[in-house]
Structure formats: C-alpha cells, structure tokens
Amino acid sequence: MQTNLRGRSLISDLDFSKEEVETVLDLAWDLKMKRAMGLPHAYLRDKTLGMLFFFSSTRTRCSFESGMAQLGGHAAFIDSKVTQISHGDTEKEIGAILGRYFDGIAIRHCTWAVGNRYLNLVHETSRAPVLNMQCDDYHPHQCLADLMTIMEKKGRDLCHKKMVVSWAYAETYRKPNSVANSLILQMPRFGLDITLAHPPEFKLKPEMIDEGKALAKKYGGSFEMTDNMEEAFKDADIVYAKSWGPMLTTSNDEEGAAITKKYSSWIADERKMALAKPDAIYMHPLPAERNVEVTDGVIDGPHSVVFDQAENRLHAQKAVMALTMC
C-alpha cells in the first residue's frame, strides 16, 4: 500500500503509479462498503473542493459533489462561463487564487488541444491538488471506476483477459478522445490484453499508442490494433465501445461529421456481442446514444455493467479525494 498521495494532483492516468492506483481501489472498496452499511466516513470534514466546469456533465458533477458531502466536506460548482475567466483570469490566477480558497481544485475542460494544457498550468501555481474531471487527453477518474468495475466482475487478477477498446458510431458531437486514451494507458498496467479498434480516420495520438504498447510489454500483456469491429469482439472478456472524434484527421466539424457518417455500422449490437465470450461484460461511460452507438438490447441486456460503472465513479473519486485532500 502506498500512502504518499497527500497533496498530489491527478491529471494524467500515469500520475499515480500502479501501486498507488491499487491503494486508491482498496480505499474505494472500503468506502463503498461503508456507504452500503450507512457507516460515517467524514474524512474530509471542513474541507472544500472547487469544481470548475468548461464542459457540462451529469455523472461527473453529481458524483464529485455527492462524494464530497459524504466525506464531510463541501463542493462548490463553478461554471466557467459566468466567472471572470471570460474577462481576463488566466490559468495562473485560477491556480494561485482557487488554490488558496479550496483544499482541492477539480476541472473539466475538454476543448481539443486546450484542456490538458489548462489543467497543467493551473497545477503549476496551485497550493492545492488539481483533479482532472476530464480533459481532451485523459479521463482518469472514469478509468479508475472502470478498473474497479472490471475487477468486481472478473477478479483482481486480470492477466491476459481480453479487453476491446472500440470506437462506435455517434451522431451528436465530436466526443473527446480522452476515455480511449485513459483505457489504453491504465489497463495494460494490470495485465490486460488490449485490442484497440477504430476506423482509419479515428486514430489516437501516436505517443499514447506507443506508451500503451510499452506498458503492455512491461506488464506481460499484449496490445493489438484493428480496423474491424467484428474481429475485435471475438473472444473478448470485456467490451468497451464508445464514440470519439476524428481529431487527428480534421478540425472541421462538417468534414468530421461526413467522415463519421461513413461508419454507422459501428454499433455495439447483439450480433457483435455474441462474438465475445459468453460471460463478457459490456461497458460505456455514459451517456450513450441508444440504438446509434449501442442497441437497447446490449446496454439493457445481461452483459451490460454500465450502471455499476456509474456508481463506482462515486466510490473511486471519494477515494482519490480522501487520499489527496486529507
């Protein structure tokens, strides 16, 4: 168990070592049990968290806000659009000032090529830890909840379990690449065999791919890539299929939408899930575009663990806050 997390920021998934992630998960399960039994666990009494949102959310805001309350503290919701950020406050001011007002700063900023840089610049001047509620590159708290859920369903020894990280079709907007990036960085550290599937125009950053492959080699797993969704699903233990944008192909929204429409067949449906192992689990961070990204039969079916994932956001985030803000 690693206990040197006090005051530490979590911006990239690799900011915490594998052993430190295991500590987070151990505490998350303890907090989950205490929550189930109604046992008090006000480890952050009188502590405050500033939650700065540039990009709206349901699960992220609710789970962080509820988690802080359950830990005995208070979370303040801050909408960037109604602050002085639009009138001159830079990352330097936000870090220096909010780091004095709050015991932790949580930020959600998903703008491509902007968000991650913003979080790191805030971190540079903040006295308090900075927690990434999702940026353009990473979604570490979602990934911790995902890992927690996988271990609950498949056991803590995940060596050579096949996990498919697949692009899926969606129609609303160009979703960030951050969930896929986090998965291909975090999951290889726990021995999973990763299969990354996406159409040619939906590549992830080469440096992310290289790091994921290096981690798979280090921890004894494998890392494969394909542009065939059906091939990827074969014999999978874990299927994680969600949309992300063609950010590395085009920055034009209209062009991106036209590219996306070519791949409407990339839907997680019953036929594809039947290619996975009989006890495979289907995962998605939500919200999912029903019957576009995934069929009702899959997301509401026996393979789906999406609501367990959503619940585990609460417990994993509470563990991170308790360890970093105490």
For 230-257, give the DSSP string. HHHHTT-SEEEEE----TTT-S-HHHHH
pLDDT at 174: 86
SS3 label, residue 126: coil
CA R_g for the chain: 19
Q: Is residue 3 one of the residues assigned to a domain?
A: no
Q: What is the pLDDT of residues 283-306, one digit of tens each?
A: 999 999 999 999 999 999 999 999
Q: Given pLDDT bands bounded at 50, 70 and 90, which one contains residue 3?
A: confident
pLDDT at 173: 77
209-219: b or e for each residue (b if 16 or more CB lie within 10 Å)?
bebbbebbeee
Look at the chain and report how many structural domains it folds into. 2
Shared-domain flag, residues 275 and 165: yes
pLDDT at 222: 98
**Rounded distance between C-alpha atoms, residue 165 and residue 195, angstroms:** 6
Shared-domain flag, residues 206 and 277: yes
Q: Is residue 282 one of the residues assigned to a domain?
A: yes
Non-local (6+) Cβ contacts of 58 within 8 A are 287
SS3 label, residue 261: helix
pLDDT at 77: 97
Shared-domain flag, residues 99 and 179: no
pLDDT at 162: 98
Domain of 34?
A: 13-139+313-325
Q: What's the average model confidence in pLDDT over 205-227?
A: 98
Q: What is the model's pTM?
A: 0.97
**Rounded distance between C-alpha atoms, residue 249 and residue 256, angstroms:** 8
| The pair of three-digit structure tokens given for residue 131, joined into one six-digit string | 């927690």
Shared-domain flag, residues 291 and 151: yes
**Rounded distance between C-alpha atoms, residue 41 and residue 181, angstroms:** 33
Task: Write down the mean pLDDT value for the chain.
Answer: 97
Q: Is residue 4 one of the residues assigned to a domain?
A: no
**Percent of the chain at pLDDT above 70?**
100
Q: In sequence order, which ranges of the chain are alpha helices (DSSP H)?
A: 18-37, 59-70, 91-93, 99-101, 115-125, 140-154, 178-186, 206-218, 229-233, 253-261, 270-273, 296-299, 306-325
Shared-domain flag, residues 159 and 115: no
Shared-domain flag, residues 267 and 150: yes
**Percent of the chain at pLDDT above 90?**
95
Q: Is residue 17 one of the residues assigned to a domain?
A: yes
Shared-domain flag, residues 114 and 227: no
Residue 321 has pLDDT above 80, yes or no: yes
Q: What is the CATH number of the domain that holds 271?
A: 3.40.50.1370
How crowded is the C-beta side of 305, counted as CA atoms within 13 Å? Answer: 23
Shared-domain flag, residues 162 and 120: no
Non-local (6+) Cβ contacts of 280 within 8 A are 236, 237, 238, 239, 273, 303
Q: Is residue 6 one of the residues assigned to a domain?
A: no
Shared-domain flag, residues 199 and 284: yes
Q: What's the average model confidence in pLDDT over 124-133?
A: 98
Q: Is residue 162 one of the residues assigned to a domain?
A: yes
Q: Is residue 120 one of the residues assigned to a domain?
A: yes
**Rounded distance between C-alpha atoms, residue 221 and residue 154, angstroms:** 16
Shared-domain flag, residues 156 and 286: yes
Q: What's the average model confidence in pLDDT over 128-142?
A: 98
Angle, to 10 degrees, between the axis of helix 306-325 and the axis of helix 140-154?
A: 120
Q: Is residue 7 one of the residues assigned to a domain?
A: no
pLDDT at 221: 97
Q: What is the pLDDT of residues 75-115, one digit of tens each?
A: 999 999 988 998 889 999 999 999 999 999 999 999 999 99
| The pair of three-digit structure tokens given for residue 240, joined into one six-digit string | 């994680």
* Amino acid identity for residue 47 in this structure: K
Shared-domain flag, residues 36 and 83: yes
Q: What is the pLDDT of residues 232-247, one digit of tens each?
A: 999 999 999 999 999 9
Q: What is the pLDDT of residues 161-203, one digit of tens each?
A: 999 999 999 988 789 999 999 999 999 999 999 999 999 999 9
Shared-domain flag, residues 63 and 110: yes
Our CA dihedral for 292, 282, 249, 10, rounded to 10 degrees, sits at: 130
